Amino acid sequence: MKVLGLITEYNPFHNGHLYHLKKSKEITDCDYSICVMSGSFVQRGEPALVDKWTRAKMAIDSGVDLVIELPTIYSSQSAEFFAYGAIKILDGLGIVDCLCFGSEIGNLNELNIISNILVNETEEFKHFLKKYLTAGYAYPKARSLAISDYLKSKNIDLNNINKIISSPNNILAIEYLKALKKINSNIKPYTIKRINAEYNDINMTGEISSATAIRNEIFKTLNGIENIKSAVPNTTYSHLKDFLNKYGSFNNIENYAQIIRYHIARFDKKSLTELFDIENGLENRILNCIKENTSIKDTLNCIKTKRYTYTRLQRLLIQMIIGLDKKTLSTLYSQDNLYIRVLGFNQKGKILLNKAKKKSKFPIITKFANYRKINDNNLNKIIEIEKRATDIYFLGLPNYNGKNFDLDYLISPYMKIDG
């Protein structure tokens, strides 16, 4: 029994994900698969296109054996926190042998060289990083430039280094490797070179298209869901149609414009500075720009600076409406414990769960209400934030009604017992 770990968002599950799943099993020689997947809100700082249970169904129906939820305190953060939370869960299960992730470069050795620099953070590297942060660069860009300078100072020649450390999947890959090293995990990493579509491609490129392009196509026209049919498995298409029929629309950050404006209206400058990912001065731009614009897109373009990217600002707004302030997150990140929240499984996944119950460092939750039996205040706080995030997620849907509250208690994990 050899178990593959995957870190995903499946927003939505498409043909590229199916290729990655099959190829990962092939190169790792694993016969079981577990994915840790973002819940209601994703790493870009947006609500997921469809809810977490629907996305878990897509994954299980396409061959993933067990889907575990990545808590919102990690899924709505930068690549570093996102990766660390997911790796912590996979390692904590105690049954995962391999991790396979996509990357633009497809070269594990070069990704490891960079991850080692970031794990060890020498004084020389810190000097380069400080130089670029002081110059006003956003942290991801400053870090990329600092890595490039550090490698040059050591006469380490990596081809296209700036492209490597600025490509989205490479960035996540480096963070996965960092996290594995930080927690001294025995999970063996593998990488697969991304094919055809780039992560941020906004246009459809046939049967293998990026999730970004698929979402853009869906929102472009009323017929958008038909236009993406060839780029997703039949089961994904079916689940998307069911969701659309039930809720009247797919979710996106513009659906939260009034909620976000309400929160900003009730915040003073001091309250804004207490948000997790905010620095002095940005609160003034937020307050000014929200008065001048009605759409989230226009508001973010108004606030955006060289240091604050569009995605980072989206995450900040999501953190604000969920209530993730500096004090809360710093407390929760400082503790070692986590939990395993099951969203779906098949027959093989059931075998994995039984094995994990004997090996896991963390409590396993299949029935949400059982979290109250866990005697850990910080862990309970993380789970309560998860419930809040779920409730807020459904507020963004046009066919929302009061029955969409407390769904964490009402919806059971998806079970596909025929295989």
169 is an annotated ligand-binding site residue: yes
10 is an annotated ligand-binding site residue: yes
11 is an annotated ligand-binding site residue: yes
16 is an annotated ligand-binding site residue: yes
Q: Which residues pair with 228 in a beta bridge?
A: none
14 is an annotated ligand-binding site residue: yes
Q: Write out the two tokens for 270.
A: 């001091």
109 is an annotated ligand-binding site residue: no
Q: Write out the two tokens for 263.
A: 């929160």
Q: Write out the two tokens for 361.
A: 């460092």
Residue 233 preceded by cis peptide, ω within 30? no
8 is an annotated ligand-binding site residue: yes
Length of the chain as a residue count: 419
Which among 274, 285, 332, 271 is positioned nearest to 313, based on CA atoms? 285
12 is an annotated ligand-binding site residue: yes
194 is an annotated ligand-binding site residue: yes
19 is an annotated ligand-binding site residue: yes
101 is an annotated ligand-binding site residue: no
d(CA 275, CA 283) in angstroms, rounded, equals 10
102 is an annotated ligand-binding site residue: yes
Answer yes or no: are the C-beta atoms of 70 and 39 closer than 8 Å. yes
Q: Which residues pair with 345 in a beta bridge?
A: 66, 415
Annotated binding-site members: 7-20, 102, 169, 194-195
Annotated binding-site members for ATP: 7-20, 102, 169, 194-195
